[in-house]
Amino acid sequence: MFDFLARNISRHPWRVVISGIAFAAICGIFGGPVAGLLQGGGFNDPASQSSTAANRLEAATGIRPDGGVVVVVKTGQPVTSQATREEVDRLTRLVGADPSVKVALNYYLTGSSALVSNDGTETLVIGQLRSMSDADAGIAATRIQRAVSGDPAVKVGGFGLASTQV
């Protein structure tokens, strides 16, 4: 099959080039307007049970149920050290001060070991975002990322930031 294809392409190279240009032009004519109709997001089926549950949770709490902003803190010392605690407390205040954040949580506030790495050297600060659009969540996450960008012990992630980057 590939021999046949290669023979025909090499016998009629201009037909292949002209066909390719015509195909690209037709795709551009019919596909060009589609780009203006595309929207970001749309990762969930609004009719699904999980979307219904997420909407109810958001309505009841005023917090986006997707995790908001996640800040990973790795100071090079154990989570039990005073230096790590001071850094986590500072970051929790910084994240919590953002107007889009309803509540900022960390290991020291919750006592949850799920917020600490297995080796005990990394921990998370979670910024639970208020109820808002995906675009606004991305703006808030980007703002928080910029606020902590000079700190080498910190990495920022979460749905809002990931959605904006995608």
pLDDT 10s digits, 3-28: 998 998 899 999 999 999 999 999 98
Range of the domain at 91: 63-165
Residues 150 and 70 occupy one common structural domain: yes
* CATH number of residue 105's parent domain: 3.30.70.1320
Please report the beta strands in the chain, taking only residues with DSSP state E, as ranges in sequence order.
69-73, 101-106, 123-129, 154-158
Residues 29 and 100 occupy one common structural domain: no
Flag whether 30 is in a domain.
Answer: yes
Residues 30 and 109 occupy one common structural domain: no
Amino acid identity, position 50:
S
Could you tell me the CA-to-CA distances from 98 to 3, 26, 49, 62, 116 in Å, in that order?
63, 49, 31, 16, 23
For helices 13-31 and 2-11, the axis angle rounded to 10 degrees is 100
pLDDT the model gives residue 96: 94
Residues 12 and 71 occupy one common structural domain: no
pLDDT the model gives residue 82: 95
Flag whether 98 is in a domain.
Answer: yes
Residues 151 and 115 occupy one common structural domain: yes
Flag whether 135 is in a domain.
Answer: yes
Flag whether 161 is in a domain.
Answer: yes
Residue 54 in this model has a pLDDT that exceeds 90: no
Flag whether 99 is in a domain.
Answer: yes
**pLDDT: which is higher, 99 or 165:** 99
- pLDDT confidence tier of residue 37, bands split at 50, 70 and 90: confident
- C-alpha 91/C-alpha 126 separation (Å) is 10
Residues 99 and 150 occupy one common structural domain: yes
- pLDDT confidence tier of residue 39, bands split at 50, 70 and 90: low
Residues 22 and 100 occupy one common structural domain: no
How much is the mean pLDDT over the chain?
Answer: 89
Residues 97 and 29 occupy one common structural domain: no
Predicted TM-score (pTM) of this structure = 0.69
Q: Looking at residues 129-157, what average pLDDT do you find?
A: 90
Flag whether 74 is in a domain.
Answer: yes
pLDDT the model gives residue 60: 87
Residue 44 in this model has a pLDDT that exceeds 80: no
Residues 82 and 122 occupy one common structural domain: yes
Residues 137 and 92 occupy one common structural domain: yes
Q: Are 148 and 100 in contact (CB under 8 A)?
A: no
Residue 40 in this model has a pLDDT that exceeds 80: no
Flag whether 53 is in a domain.
Answer: no
For helices 82-96 and 134-147, the axis angle rounded to 10 degrees is 140
Instruction: Report CA Rg, the chain.
Output: 25
Flag whether 132 is in a domain.
Answer: yes
- C-alpha 140/C-alpha 147 separation (Å) is 11
Dmax over Cα atoms in the chain, in whole Å? 76
Residues 151 and 112 occupy one common structural domain: yes
Provide the domain count of the chain: 2
